[in-house]
Amino acid sequence: MFKSYRNMLLSAVVVAAASTTLFAGSDASRTYANGKKVIDGGSTYPVKKGMTSLYHVNEKAHKTSFKLGRSATKDEINAWNIDVMPDGTGLPEGHGTVEEGDALYDEKCSSCHADFGTGGAGYPALQKGNAYEGQKSLTNQRVDGNDEGPIRVFGTYWPHASTLWWYIKTGMPHPHPMSLTDNEVYALCAYIVSINEIKIDGEELDDDYELNRKKFLKIVMPNKDGFIPKIDGKNGVENARKFFNDFKNYGNGTRCMKNCFKGKPVLARISGTGISDYQPPISEKKELPKKKAGGAAEHPGKKVYDASCAVCHGTDAMGAPMLGDKKAWAPRIKQGMDTLYDHAIHGLNGMPPKGGTSLPDAKIKEVVDYMVSKAK
């Protein structure tokens, strides 16, 4: 993040750090995690006479050792350790061209992220033009009538491309995570890098450009040095510890719990933003629209379907049976409604339980009824 954003983006840290000082006393009276202050400037306190600071403590619980389960084996750890680090750790061999990525994107990604990664319908944009130009917008703030805020998409904001590879491989496409091959992930990364107009080793990516592990590690993101403190590398933890324990870096520069502010606070108001001259003008009426006389009542499951299920079942590109596709639904309907209810509520393959919602079972069944009614 840029320094101009420091106070705004670290407000939560200020609260967390300040809250640990209520019973702090002097540094000599405190003990620290591993002999050092913790990252956020807080501290730990020893248990003395059944109390830690002003709080009573169950000393017996503190002395109890727990031995639950067993240590994970090396193979189990390797199976879980699937992240990709900026230095290339975890990045496999593979290759894919921009053209191959373009075709894959149209097939598996565009239904959510829209054509050319422009985003929409609640799904994030993957690009907003040239990443190098967009990166300059990160210092923009919506004050003094300026309504052009920072552009924070992959190309302009992310410090490392390794996160892109890891996220696509382990989390995309949404209905079928971990279904892409390494070569397909390289192809999609090549396409996304290209539409952000990011150069690799000084070279622009055309349709024939083939991305592989060696070239991927040469990607330098425009905003790689835009974050503070610097958490990469062997000194990352100490850099964070040093930064957050220097209270001049955020807040008002003073560690305090009262009388921390002098004078009256000034509220910053955002003005001059948004669109006001709508054509036709926006209606100011508050009542609900009148129902058409004699019209058929809306199915009770349609509203939930539109809000939570259409993103996957509204297209055949997501691998889910599309609404109204009689051929796709026929074998499923043949299994019986109880089976359909069970699959919808508890999940099956790429279908998450309840479609990823927290709706009650009765509402999910209404959605199933609605979708089945459209397939008959």
Q: All domains of the chain, ordered by start, with CATH?
A: 1-65+235-260 (no CATH), 87-216 (1.10.760.10), 302-373 (1.10.760.10)
pLDDT at 194: 96
- Residue-wise pLDDT tens digits, 268-308: 555 554 556 666 676 667 676 666 666 667 888 888 888 77
Highest mean pLDDT among 5-9, 121-125, 248-252, 349-353: 121-125
170: enclosing H helix or E strand: helix 162-171
Nearest CA to 186 among 204, 169, 208, 163?
Answer: 169
Angle at the Cα of 63 (from 50 to 38), degrees rounded to 5?
80
- Residue-wise pLDDT tens digits, 165-191: 999 999 999 888 999 999 999 999 999
350: enclosing H helix or E strand: none
DSSP-based three-state secondary structure for 115:
helix
Cα distance between residue 241 and residue 248, in whole Å = 14
| Least confident residue range of 168-177, 328-337, 343-352 | 343-352
pLDDT at 207: 94
Top-confidence residue, 40 or 29:
40
Neighbours of 37 (CB within 10 A): 19
Q: Judge whether residue 44 has pLDDT over 70.
A: no
Q: Judge whether residue 102 has pLDDT over 70.
A: yes
Cα distance between residue 259 and residue 19, in whole Å = 15
Cα distance between residue 237 and residue 230, in whole Å = 9
pLDDT band at residue 120 under the 50/70/90 scheme: confident
**For 167, what's the count of Cα atoms within 13 Å in the CB-facing half-sphere?**
10
Q: What would the two tokens of residue 323 be? A: 């609404």
Q: What is the DSSP letter of 308?
A: I
Q: Judge whether residue 126 has pLDDT over 90.
A: yes
| Percent above pLDDT 70 for the chain | 74
CA distances from 31 to 44, 63, 103, 133, 226 (A): 6, 18, 58, 48, 34
Cα distance between residue 360 and residue 2, in whole Å = 44
> Who's near 254: CB < 8 A, 6+ residues apart?
247, 260
pLDDT band at residue 19 under the 50/70/90 scheme: very low
Nearest CA to 175 among 327, 362, 315, 79?
Answer: 315
* 55-56 and 95-97 beta bridge pairing: unpaired
DSSP-based three-state secondary structure for 91:
coil
Mean pLDDT of the chain: 79
As beta bridge partners, residue 52 has 55
Top-confidence residue, 53 or 211:
211
